A and B are shown apart, each in its own frame.
Chain A
Amino acid sequence: MITTPTKLVNPKRTKDSPVKSSLFKQSIRKLSKNKLAVSGFVVVIFMFVACFIGPLFSPYTDNKINMAMMNKAPHLKHWLGTDALGRDVLTRVLLAGRISLTVGLASMMLSVFIGSLLGALAGYYRGIVDQIIMRIADLLLTIPSLPLLFIFGALLSEWKIPTDYRMYIVMLMLSFVGWPGLARMVRGQMLSLREREFMQAAVVLGLRDRRKLFNHLLPNIVPLLIVIATLNIGGAILSESVLSFFGLGVMPPTPTWGNMIDAANNMIDFQERPWLWIPPGFSIFATVIAINIFGDGLRDVLDPKQKR
């Protein structure tokens, strides 16, 4: 009777396998090879720096009304011209950028946080938790988002929320409308990950829930989350600009790219003073496209199943 199990001879190690650098370092290296993604990143950084630090170099930040310089086309003293109150357009575009970028970033973070939390819980625990969360998400997805945002915007005006606080409420509004889609995606990912072999192994090993969630599932979801988050900023910035354009988001005198375009949306300004609305519009475009290109490059690197 054979009692001892056979054992394998250890293969002679001839060359030592190179130590693998961490996933983070590898990702950075791969990403830097993608020229398009790098340029997207550079543009994004440039926008942030320009909008947050740029105005510090401008002599026009006090928003003083200067009727003498009213409505001037771009020239040496005012690179992008002036508006109806004599304010420097370039400075206003940069200041508006601060708001638009902040709102975009913040509302994205909020919706990603809420969405991924709810989605993960729904996907992991399933059952009643899943049902409740998904029904609410479904309900919100059924109602058209733009009218919903408009209603909220109108409510804000009716309740006479001071313009300073409007910005924060707008963030909340956007994340309120944004989280269901995110929750769906995270839930889907969670559901499929759950069934994978490595999770079955974790169950067989008798790991506690928390360990399974945090040490095994979460690290696999994080790459997807990063990608979703990055690509969502663009959407958030666009949504904020639409709202502001319709006068239902952040209101003047606080400038955002959206409401600057709205302010210039009258017969004369539109036709004869393009420097008032083209720069903010182009800023939105440049920022969003840069974020999207960068986010796409990020996805190539972080999501192994993706192809170009």
Chain B
Amino acid sequence: MSTYLSKRLIYMFLILFAASLLIFCLYAMTPGDFISGNIKLTPERKAELRDIYGLNKPLLERYGLWMSNAFRGDFGFSLAQQKPVLQLFNEYIWNSFLLAVVSTFLTWVIAVIVGVISAYKQYSWFDTLVMVAIFAAMSIPSFFIGLFLIKVLAVDLKWLPPGGMLTTGSNATGIAYLKEVIHHMTLPVVVMTLLGVGSLTRYFRSNMIDVIKQDYIRTARAKGLTERKVLFTHALRNALLPAITLVGFELPALFGGSLIIEKIFNWPGIGQLYMQSFGLRDYPLLMGFTMFIAILTVLGTLISDILYHVADPRVRLQ
């Protein structure tokens, strides 16, 4: 197990290293930066600032600087916000996390329940309905459904607020604050859940259908077990097991924020921070964010692998 792990970790580092190089070069290629884009500065002042921030140094040197700083925990300094990148992350990321964790939870719960029932009642009208719903959920453009629901539920019917995390100008605290956040978070969570629930339900349904056809289910029935026991103890356990691998893959989404959702709903999360910085060419922040997601992706894959090996008795690593 330890040799596998160490090999894996080395590979992870290599990939992340290559990714950082790629990310750096990509951002470096985009012409213009925060300073040159700022119209308020005179050319001389611009040159001065560029010198101060070391933007005139050669590419490799800047890369080296960025990486060495990163290893010391300094992920750069946002020029636009005048704060360390990490600190900015910390301010915004938890808002994204809130949306993500609630919608991921709902997505999984709905997917498991609907998928399992649909598989058990395969060929029924319920199953057909679920299949069509799955296709619909997987085919909807995220920004469109967001806008559409805002129009119908927020603007026309005024049931829910159209955006933001708090009502503008609010300084509520405690329970009132909580209520406001929940009120505002409903629509984005609904949309996020809708978008994710399609493929996951289909996955569970497909797994369950496979499992129900297996010989050991026939054996379980031949033993005289109740249908409930057959379903829950025998079928479900086997159907859900492979899903463990999916847990790790949720990691980037949990912390990475959704660029689209946060823009549509004006949610102050890390995704929105990215989009703002994108317009301003605030590279330290952009690179930091992209690298952050890359790290989460790689970590997530590792977690998935480990979880799978731990959970499935057939695949235990020697």
Binding site for B on A (CB under 8 A): 36, 135, 138-139, 141-144, 146-148, 150-151, 154-155, 158-159, 234, 238, 241-242, 245-246, 261, 265, 270-271, 274, 277-278, 281-282, 284-285, 288-289, 291-293, 296, 307-308
Contacts and interface: CB of A to CB of B under 8 A. Distances in A.
Interface of B: 15-16, 18-19, 22-23, 26-27, 29-32, 122-123, 131-132, 135-136, 138-144, 147-148, 151, 155, 206, 209-210, 213, 252, 256, 259-260, 263, 274, 278, 286, 289-290, 293-294, 297-298
Contacts, number: 108
B30 A270 contact: no
Given A151-B27, A278-B148, A281-B148, A144 B138 contact: no
Contacts of B290: 143-144, 147
Contacts of A285: 136, 139-141, 144
A293 B202 CA distance: 13
A120 B281 CA distance: 40
A147 B274 contact: yes
B122 A292 contact: no
Contacts of B135: 289, 292-293, 296
22 contacts: A135-B15, A139-B19, A139-B22, A142-B298, A143-B22, A143-B294, A144-B290, A147-B259, A147-B286, A151-B26, A154-B278, A155-B30, A242-B141, A261-B144, A278-B148, A281-B147, A284-B144, A285-B141, A288-B141, A289-B135, A289-B136, A292-B138
Tell me the dominant secondary structure on chain B's binding face.
helix
A155 to B, nearest CB: 6
B121 to A, nearest CB: 12
Given A147-B274, A277-B144, 17 more contacts: A141-B297, A142-B15, A142-B298, A143-B23, A143-B290, A144-B293, A147-B286, A234-B138, A234-B139, A238-B141, A241-B144, A246-B263, A281-B144, A281-B147, A288-B141, A292-B138, A296-B135
Nearest to A264: B147
B297 A281 contact: no
